[in-house]
Amino acid sequence: SDESIYQFKEKIASAKTVVWNGPLGLFEEGYDKGSKAIASAIIESPAYEVVGGGETVEFLAKNNLLSKFSFVSSGGGAMLEFLAGRKLPALEALQ
């Protein structure tokens, strides 16, 4: 809803870091109002932007916005696990 978008924008505007994992609802053309609004708010903010997840990356790529973000990972679940400080089997195997 417009109210939800407004509330997200307020929080994003004052954040130092924004982690975005997953589109906001449907993100196909005609249903992407929320995701577009949040992407714009993140891009316009002074925050360091971290984006994860295949669908989010797909949405940003379709809208030519990937280059506007500081860090992009197609592995949403793995990215969240890493940020939470949990062990990742692939990284453990490399040590």
In a domain, 74, yes or no: yes
Tell me the C-alpha distance between 5 and 24, whole Å: 10
**Extended beta strands in 1-95, E state:** 17-21, 48-52, 71-73
Confidence of residue 13 (pLDDT cuts 50, 70, 90): very high
| Distance linking the first and last C-alpha atoms of the chain | 46
**37-44: average pLDDT:** 96
pLDDT at 65 over 90: yes
Q: For residue 43, give the CATH number of its domain.
A: 3.40.50.1260
Place of tokens 């004052």: 14
Q: Are 76 and 52 in contact (CB under 8 A)?
A: yes
In a domain, 93, yes or no: no
pLDDT at 51 over 90: yes
In a domain, 10, yes or no: yes
For 24-38, how does the pLDDT look when each residue is reduced to its tens digit (9 = 90+)? 887 788 888 999 999
In a domain, 95, yes or no: no
pLDDT (0 to 100) of residue 41: 97
pLDDT (0 to 100) of residue 56: 94
In a domain, 91, yes or no: no
In a domain, 90, yes or no: no
**2-19: average pLDDT:** 95
Helix (H) or strand (E) holding 80: helix 76-83
Q: Percent of the chain beyond pLDDT 90? A: 67
Tokens, residue 37:
């609004």
56 CB burial (10 A radius; 0-12, 13-18, 19+): buried
Domain that holds residue 79: 2-85
In a domain, 31, yes or no: yes
Q: Is the pTM of this model over 0.75?
A: yes
